[in-house]
Homo-oligomer: A and B are copies of this chain.
Amino acid sequence: MKKSVPSLVKDPELIKKRREQMVKGAVRLFIEKGFHRTTTREIAKESGFSIGTLYEYIRSKEDILYLVCDAIYEEVRDRLAYHLDTDNKGIDRLKKAVAAYFQVIHDMQDEVLVMYQEAKSLPKEALSYVLQKEVEMTEMIEQVIRECAKEGVIHVHDAQVKLVAHNILVQGHMWTFRRWQIQKHFSLEDYTNLQIEQLLQGVNHRLM
């Protein structure tokens, strides 16, 4: 499943190090001008080595995009997992999870933005792999919701679980994608609180 990008260089340590440089450089450039407007030479330069060296560690420009997306997902997931790893109980578990997720997205705004904007340019197979990561993310959130439901602190029928998970995920993306609007009106804290309030109580309309 994990499509490992072939390299002409043998030393795994070196591969890791160089690819980290490369991803870091590429992200910076992709954020600035997007994947298509960034040249391989620019990536090499920004990464601190020559174009020849770049191609010792990848086969094509698309490989770089893949490495970038993979790296970003990995980091988002790791950070999220780290924050979810608490012993919160009750409704707090969900609240903290949402807050943690929004915080992670906030901290990695540019990266997340790039990934969601450029992933579509991945070759089919690589795209599938990356989308799979998105599924995993969804499942992590679903898991939290289900646990809260099991504890009885929220009432949510089965179909809703998946939907709510997606909603939360997308509200995270929204924080970056619509930042030019949203971040003008809300601090991250306010945004988080409001979304949680909305999530738990809805718009609280008169009972029908």
Contacts and interface: CB of A to CB of B under 8 A. Distances in A.
Contacts of A173: 170
A185 B166 CA distance: 12
18 contacts: A34-B120, A34-B121, A36-B121, A91-B206, A91-B208, A153-B206, A154-B205, A155-B206, A160-B194, A163-B186, A163-B195, A164-B203, A170-B171, A200-B204, A201-B202, A201-B204, A201-B205, A202-B202
Q: What is the interface of chain A mostly: helix, strand, loop, or mixed?
A: helix
A48 interface: no
Contacts of A205: 91, 148, 153-155, 200-201
A144 to B, nearest CB: 12
A6 interface: no
Interface residues of A, number: 49
A166 B194 contact: no
Contacts of A131: 180
A148 B186 CA distance: 23
Contacts of A91: 205-206, 208
Contacts of A154: 203-206
Q: How many copies does the complex hold?
A: 4
B174 A166 contact: yes
Given A117-B117, A154-B204, A206-B153, A178 B174 contact: no
Contacts of A181: 134-135, 138, 166
User: Which residue among A138, A181, A208 has the maximum number of chain B CB atoms within 10 Å of its CB?
Assistant: A181
